[in-house]
Structure 1
Amino acid sequence: MARPDVQKTPSPKLTLFTCKRFLDPDFCAAIMQRIDAERRPSTVSDFNGDHYFRTSETCDLNGEDPVVAELNRRIIAFTGLDPAHGEPVQGQRYAVGQEFKAHTDYFEPSGVDYDKYCSVAGQRTWTVMLYLNEPEAGGATRFRAIDKIVKPETGKLLAWNNLRPDGSPNPSTLHHAMKVRGGTKYVVTKWFRERPWG
């Protein structure tokens, strides 16, 4: 909140910050090129049987790449979070009709994949997501618990805490990457953990 361009969503249900124009269009375009070059079908944990639950594509961005390293540096500087707790940055690409239905970023403690993903670094704490472009239509992010819809804007950053103040998972962080209806949507996401990553 020390930055004048940061807004905090006024809700007691979750901690959510936005920052417009965090990245400039040229920087965003460079990351989009990397996503296009390395994308693969996205996956989910605790598969629920719905093959259309997440239909986007994902790219594991190379942390040794100078552009990706600079992106990481900016995210760390913005959040003040311990870089050792950060997962590698991922890129996501959504074509027309693709979406990620309502989900949370934390791992469900009762889920079959919980130990697989959380035994070393622990639960996900913060999510930092950046829109790299504006699709022609659709592609908004909807936070159902607070009835908030965030439209993609080039370079806009979202950051939210996946946990409650007591450290338990916060179901009010449920969010839906809504279907793209025109063009293509690109985002990058960086998650942080309770303990050092890896």
Structure 2
Amino acid sequence: MTAHTPPASIGERLSSTPGVRRFPNRKLDLFLAPDFLDTDACAAIIALIDEQRRPSTQADANGDPLYRTSETCDLDCAHPAVAALDARIAALTGLDPAHGEPMQGQRYAVGQEFKDHTDYFEPGGLDYDRYCTGCGQRTWTVMIYLNQPAAGGATRFRRIDKIIQPETGKLLAWNNLDAAGQPNGWTLHHGMKVRSGTKYVVTKWFRQHRWPHG
């Protein structure tokens, strides 16, 4: 992990960071940092998403064409705005950038959502070997709301009955694995429907091993 914080202490690091709040639930490690990103930085990423957005996909199709209806943009890590955001995420969390997947942006129009899902890859799932061989399982998710839609668009962690409202620049971070290093089903969450306006978020996932492997 080079000089960066080992995975086991990421939660401790975030807990001790001023301005970061840990949700009081023993079932998962979930953190919130309001005003992590200023409006200008958010606007720069939104512009990039709008330039290259495409229909979102999912690793394991479940036969529901309305399961994930957002649009996605694969952000260029060499772009100055993206590189700056990558560096800020690493500085806050201590997560090793070498273990990070390329950052993605998502756009949700009215009525669009991402139904209940987890960010880890389901062991035994159709594409588990394809996505996890080499780089390993997803560990942490870092998601930032880039704007505040007029209505709707909250993130609901259903199993702990926690709803988090989108606000410009707000960061969420959670560990997709439990204390034993196994996929944590308590991280099940729902990107709820936008009722009015448009929602933009940016997401950064981290792996157990370097990305890309080798």
Residues 5-154 of structure 1 correspond to what in structure 2 (within 5 A)? 5-154=19-168
Compute the displacement of 1:170 (Å). Answer: 0.2
1:4 CA drift (Å): 1.8
- The alpha-carbon deviation at position 145 of structure 1 amounts to 1.1
Give SS of 1:75's match.
Answer: helix
Report the counterpart of residue 3 of structure 1 in structure 2. Answer: 17
Instruction: Write the mapping of 1:149-160 to structure 2, written as runs, cut at 5 A.
Output: 149-160=163-174
Equivalence for 2:5: none
Match of 2:182 among 154, 168, 178: 168
Encode CA deviations 1:68-97: one digit per residue, 9 max, x unaligned: 000000001011011110001100000000
- How far, CA to CA, are the matches of 1:63 and 1:82 in structure 2? 15
1:147 is displaced (CA, Å) by: 0.3
Residue number in structure 2 paired with 1:178: 192
Across the aligned residues of Structure 1 and Structure 2, the Cα RMSD in angstroms comes to: 0.5
Cα distance in 2 between the residues matched to 1:99 and 1:120 = 31
Q: Tell me the CA shift for residue 110 of structure 1.
A: 1.3
Q: How far apart in 2 are the matches of 1:82 and 1:62?
A: 18
Instruction: Show structure 1 runs of 4+ deviating over 4 A.
Output: none
Distance 1:84 1:121 in 2: 11
State the alpha-carbon separation in 2 of the partners of residues 84 and 25 from structure 1: 27
Q: Secondary structure of 2:62's partner?
A: coil
Tell me the distance in 2 between the aligned counterparts of 1:91 and 1:167.
27
TM-score by length of 1: 0.99
Q: Secondary structure at the match of 2:58?
A: coil
Query: Residue 13 of structure 1 contacts residue 145 of structure 1 at CA under 8 Å; is this kept in 2?
Result: no
TM-score (ref. length: structure 2): 0.92
Question: In 2, distance between residues paired with 1:26 and 1:36?
Answer: 15
Counterpart CA distance in 1 for 2:172 and 2:120 is 16
- Specify every segment of 5 or more residues in structure 2 that has no aligned partner in the other structure, as ranges: 1-14
